[in-house]
Amino acid sequence: MESNSPSRTPENSSGGLFRSLLLPLLALVLVVGALGTFWAGWVQVTEERIRLRETLEGNSRLLERMNLPMSGRMAENLSTAMGHPVAIVFPDNEVEGGDGWDTADMQLASQAANSDNAYAKEGGKEAIAVELTNKRGHLVVLREKRQLLDFREARLWALLMIILTLGAVAAYLLARRLVRPLEELAEKAPDFGEAALPEHLTRRSDELGQLARALDSARERILTEQSMRKQSERLAMLGQIATGLAHEIKNPAAAILMQADAMDNKTVAKMVREEAEDIITLVNQWLFIAKPSPPRKVAHDLAASVRKFIERRSEVYAYHGIEVVLEAPEALVAECDEKRVLQAIRNLVDNGVAAMPEGGKLLVSMKQEGEQASFAVHDRGKGFSARALENFAEPFFSEKEGGMGLGLALVKGVAEAHGGGAEVFNQKDGGAVVRFWISRKESGEETP
């Protein structure tokens, strides 16, 4: 028959670690409390014996100074003064005690007087002896033997309760201190990928802090892997789309270019040709990002190529109220894939135009820096946000409405394929700068 009782799950056993820590600690507190109380009782009994012996020694010296006779009468007087039965044991083992001394008590007193440590015990009694200075015998005090743990005394109960109470509180606080961070880690586990662990856990210098930092590091690696996997999936999808579109678009675009060359109206033909080339460039850009291939490097004067490119698109930029200012040397020769480098520059210029909706001057600068050629675009827009700077050149990241987030990714890819790199930063007086650089000479090893 099937049972309808709910199965035990980890949620049903919450607090198990706390109990497994607290119970042994409480047991330890109990043992320590008992040992502490036992030690306190031992110290108390030992101190009482020491005080009793010191009192007996004082009485012995007093008897010697006053040269008082040693007799049963004197033993009774000493008993009254000390509050315990006192006897005199002479060198011949004769015992003189007061009233109430029986044979067993006298034998115990004689044993104490003749023992090396001047102490003897029998049954529930103990005897402490002190030798007289003139060798006339011993003074022996008799008393009930004290128990190390006499729970009839209220102070021992009070001491035990204080030790147990303080120990229990300390055990509880220690268990909570150890378990609470683990509970927080367990609480954060369901949201492992959404937020970092609290700083008060990751900043701990103990083993719990190491565990928290290890979990946080694992979380970051998982998030990075997830992001990379999503990016790979997007790039794969983009590659499939771009591959399909390349065939469907390039052939009609090529036909459009041929018709444009045959048009009588050169102005309209130029506009048609530029738009068709833009379509082909866009498809090529997708293909490069999705399926990058090594650049075809040939020596080109990039300064002349960029001047021609800006001049060709000057009317488009002027329509948006943008004046593109080029600062470049007379010639800047580099072994590169000219189409890809120009595509990267075009992306930067188009981004700069989009960042300046009110119009203005857009500066494009080119420099020869040793064995490198650098290109930079300075706009007067609002600049990059902190998040955009952090995610610079990450594919599919864009804060621009309708943006695909591929422009800067292509720029960085082109730069790295030519042995260079890219960077972005905001200008202090407003606007942003995007810069990339490439190697001017063939290194003999192409970067994919």
Calculate the CA dihedral of residues 413, 417, 419, 424 and round it to 10 degrees.
-10
d(C-alpha 266, C-alpha 245), whole Å = 29
What are the tokens at 265?
Answer: 């109206």
For residue 64, give the DSSP letter. Answer: H
Instruction: Give yes or no for residue 15 having a pLDDT over 60.
Output: no
Name the band, by pLDDT with cuts 50, 70 and 90, for residue 12: very low
343 Cβ contact partners less than 8 Å away, ≥ 6 residues apart: 281, 284, 285, 288, 410, 414
CA 65 to chain centre: 78
pLDDT of residue 176: 72
d(C-alpha 23, C-alpha 30), whole Å = 10
Helix, strand, or coil (residue 9) = coil
CA 359 to chain centre: 49
For residue 410, with 0-12 CB atoms within 10 Å meaning exposed, 13-18 middle and 19 or more buried, which class applies?
A: buried
Q: How much of the chain, in percent, has pLDDT values that exceed 70?
A: 78
Model pLDDT for residues 90-120, shown as the tens digit of each residue: 888 888 887 778 888 888 888 888 888 888 8
Domains belonging to the chain, first-starting first, are: 13-154 (no CATH), 293-448 (3.30.565.10)
pLDDT of residue 16: 61
C-alpha Rg value of the chain to the nearest Å: 50
Question: Which amino acid appears at position 424 of this protein?
Answer: V
* pTM of the predicted structure, to 2 decimals: 0.48
Model pLDDT for residues 421-447, shown as the tens digit of each residue: 999 999 888 899 999 999 988 654 443
Question: Which amino acid appears at position 284 of this protein?
Answer: N
pLDDT of residue 11: 45
Instruction: Give yes or no for residue 344 having a pLDDT over 80.
Output: yes
Instruction: Give yes or no for residue 14 having a pLDDT over 60.
Output: no
pLDDT of residue 447: 36
